[in-house]
Amino acid sequence: MPISAIDASKRNREICALAPIIPVLVVKDATVARPLAEALVAGGLPALEVTLRTPAALDVIRAMADVPGGVVGAGTLVTPQDVKNAVAAGAKFGVSPGATDALIAACEAEGLPLLAGAATATEAMAMLEKGYDVLKFFPAEASGGASALKAIGAPLPQISFCPTGGVSPANANDYLSLSNVVCAGGSWVVPGDKVANGDWAGIEALARDAAKLERTS
């Protein structure tokens, strides 16, 4: 069923409210999807972004979509076909590094709330004009980090962001203490070596630490 920009923003806000951090996952092997998602959800991070950057990504989304308590989204959406594939696999939200009219239209037609990327005031204002007031700030660190996002928030307080790209335990608090940040995205909670070793307890512990990070908004 199609979704409006207003309803997509409302849903994005709900998803971003679930936890301070959305893990960004690059998973090569779908057989690890379920225990990985279970560990993250158990650690307190229910919203998960699976990037469509590996051949296994759609199978990973399919496997994670069944995990109780999880809300699985598809990241790195670039084309309308990506949107169709993500929805068919069971994704409940979409994330993109930027936004195009075609991508936005496809997400609205497919009923997929889109967390679209913006890195400048103009990009954020263009999305706001279309009805989207919850955006990804990407690439967060390379775009000036928390101080840049704070500066954008001064004239545009009506837009909330999920900064992603270079967010780490060392700087997460700088972002999460901003009034225009609802949550942040990051890959550090899912280190490749822990996934390769099946260290689900270790990943759950990292998730638990991330889930404890405090937010202002």
Which residues are annotated as catalytic?
A: 49, 136
Is residue 96 a contact point for ligand 3PG (CB under 6 A)? no
Residue 196 class from Cβ within 10 Å (0-12 exposed, 13-18 middle, 19+ buried)? exposed
Is residue 167 a contact point for ligand 3PG (CB under 6 A)? yes
Is residue 166 a contact point for ligand 3PG (CB under 6 A)? yes
Q: Which stretch binds ligand 3PG (CB under 6 A): 61-69, 148-156, 180-188, 191-199?
A: 180-188
Print the SS3 string covering the chain: CCCCHHHHHHHHHHHHHCCCEEEEECCCCHHHHHHHHHHHHHCCCCEEEEECCCCCHHHHHHHHCCCCCCEEEEECCCCHHHHHHHHHHCCCEEEECCCCHHHHHHHHHHCCCEEEEECCHHHHHHHHHCCCCEEEECCCCCCCHHHHHHHHHCCCCCCEEEEECCCCCCCHHHHHCCCCECCEEECCCCCHHHHHCCCHHHHHHHHHHHHCCCCCC
106-135 positions binding ligand 3PG, by CB under 6 A = none
Nearest residue to ligand 3PG on Cβ basis: 187
User: Of residues 58, 186, 194, 207, which one binds ligand 3PG by CB under 6 A?
Assistant: 186
Is residue 187 a contact point for ligand 3PG (CB under 6 A)? yes
Is residue 165 a contact point for ligand 3PG (CB under 6 A)? yes
Q: Which stretch binds ligand 3PG (CB under 6 A): 12-20, 105-113, 155-163, 179-187?
A: 179-187
* Least Å from the CB of residue 167 to ligand 3PG: 6
User: Of residues 16, 24, 30, 37, which one binds ligand 3PG by CB under 6 A?
Assistant: 24
How big is the site for ligand 3PG, counted in residues (CB under 6 A)? 8
Chain positions contacting ligand 3PG, by CB under 6 A: 24, 164-167, 185-187
